[in-house]
Amino acid sequence: MNQSNDKKLSGSVNYSFVDTIRCISMMGIVFLHCSVFWGLKYKSFSETLIETAVMQLLKFSTIAFFLIGGFLINHKINEYSASQYLKNRFTNTVKPWLFWVSLFFVLDIIGQVIIYLRFGSSDAFNNLPLYLIEETGHILFYTAFWFIPNFLICIALLLLFKKYLYNIRFGVFLGILSIFYSINLYGTWIPTEHSSALFGFVFYLWLGVMLNKHFQKVITFINKISWNKLILINIIFFTLSMVEIIYLMRLGSKDSYDTLRITNILYSLSMFTALLKIGGIDIIQRKLNPRQTTFGIYLVHEILIINVLPLIFTPLKIHPALLNASSNIFYTIVRFIIVYVLSFLLTVGIGKTKMKWIVGQ
């Protein structure tokens, strides 16, 4: 976990903290996607507090992923032309993504066929062209698969404005775009879902690029911050994030947990700072091999949530709306463990076959 061990020279620089943050962030993303708190409303204020605390705790994960993404692409953006870089991305990222999106489609259609055979009617067979259009929109904007198109759009924008990449004014402009989405949660001038905020995450990719460029100065500054101060800062931003969630709930917002809430941005940056200070965690490196498994877990987990969890829990007739917040925490943790472990094992297993390309190997 020592920062001095994070930097290993082997022809190029390898930062072990990157894999640690990537792994922790993916755990957070899977946990949130497994959560049963989405859409629930508790009458008790204490239960609402429990819900918001659980949902907010790992809400830094998405922004942390963009920061790490920017950190990793800094040198590649300068080494490759836009066409070369995007070509490499297609081979290593888009092809696996298309495979799992296609599988998601196929499984969904199979489900529609089963519904049709049982009940004589289904959404797909009532109007197939419309269903396919709507389902495409659903996958791209309302499932975990939104990340790759959004991420590639962000990279494309940085490539388009490559000559301004290290210009602070360019970063300020991108930051203003992100804050616009924060304000939009209250004005709702455009759709508020964070997955449709196409330009809201470019700033964090840019910030990751700048972190790479000035890494030694940044890490020296961070190491001078005492843990007491850093923990206090995180607690303050965590508390403010909960307050904003509850306030948005009372306003009737449909996206009170949105990633681009201003308080969550601050919380995400402070948590990312804490993770930088911790550095690489050896057990994560050795046991979970995040460099080889993280992308596969991302690709697989949504399909498991949609298609496997119902097979396990539907027969048990568990209804989150009828459970208290503490019970739903336990239920969410069980769902998370099942999905994460299965996703990990599937990724490792596929990675040992000729089909390893579908998990980004």
Model confidence at 195, pLDDT cuts 50, 70, 90, reads: low
How many domains, in total, are found in the chain? 1
Residue 35 banded pLDDT, cuts 50, 70, 90 = very high
* Dihedral sign for Cα atoms in the order 55, 60, 63, 64: negative
Question: Maximum distance among all alpha carbons in the chain?
Answer: 67
Q: Do 237 and 266 meet the contact criterion of CB atoms below 8 Å apart?
A: yes
One-letter identity of residue 87: K
Across 95-99, average pLDDT: 94
Q: What is the pLDDT of residue 13?
A: 47
The pLDDT score that the predictor gives to residue 238 is 98
Band (277; pLDDT cuts 50, 70, 90): very high
Rounded to an integer, the average pLDDT of 73-88 is 75
Q: Which of 123-137, 156-170, 223-237, 314-328 has the weakest average pLDDT? A: 123-137
Average pLDDT on 270-294 reads: 92
Q: Does the pLDDT value for residue 98 go beyond 50? A: yes
Q: What is the pLDDT of residues 223-243, one digit of tens each?
A: 999 999 999 999 999 999 999
172 versus 139: the higher-pLDDT residue is 172
The pLDDT value recorded for residue 361 is 60
For residue 357, what are its two tokens? 């390309």
Query: In the structure, what pLDDT confidence band is assigned to residue 194 with cuts at 50, 70 and 90?
Result: low
Tokens linked to 239: 């508390």
Gap between the Cα atoms of 57 and 37, Å rounded? 13
d(CA 26, CA 20): 10
User: Which among 359, 341, 353, 352 has a CA at the least distance from the CA of 288?
Assistant: 341
**Domain housing 86:** 3-359
What's the pLDDT score for residue 127?
A: 84
Is the pLDDT reported for residue 12 higher than 50?
no
Whether residue 10 is predicted with pLDDT greater than 60 in this model: the reply is no
- For the entire predicted model, the pTM comes to 0.91
Q: For residue 126, what are its two tokens?
A: 């009532």
User: Please, which residues have CB within 8 angstroms of residue 262's CB and are 6 or more apart in sequence?
Assistant: 179, 182, 244
Q: List the alpha helices (DSSP H) in 260-289.
A: 262-278, 282-283
The Cα 252–Cα 315 span in angstroms is: 33
Pick the residue with more confidence: 196 or 52?
52
Burial 125-138 (b: 16+ CB within 10 A, else e): eeeeeebeeebeee
pLDDT at 312 over 50: yes
- Please say if the pLDDT value at position 161 is more than 80: yes
Q: Taking all residues of the chain, what is their mean pLDDT, rounded to a whole number?
A: 90
